[in-house]
Amino acid sequence: MGQLEGQVAIVTGAGSGIGRATAQAFAREGCRVALVGRRPEPLDELAAELGNAALAVPADVADPAAVDAAVAQVLEAWGRVDVLVNNAGLNVPGRHLPDVSPQDWATVLGVNLTGTFAMTQAVLPTMRAQGSGTVLNVSSIAGLRAYPPSGPAYSAAKAGVNSFTESLNLTERVHGIRACAVCPGEVATPILDRRPVPPSAEARELMLQPDDLAQTLLFVAALPARATVELLTINPTVQRDTSNG
Q: What is the CA radius of gyration of the chain?
A: 17
Q: Of 204, 216, 207, which Cα lies nearest the Cα of 235? A: 207
Q: Of 55, 58, 59, 60, which Cα lies nearest the Cα of 75? A: 55
In angstroms, the CA 108 to CA 181 distance is 18
In angstroms, the CA 112 to CA 116 distance is 6
Q: Are 26 and 50 spatial neighbours (Cβ–Cβ below 8 Å)?
A: no
Catalytic member of 140, 154, 165, 179: 154
Query: Is 147 tagged catalytic?
Result: no
Q: Of 224, 118, 218, 213, which Cα lies nearest the Cα of 178? A: 224
Catalytic residues: 154
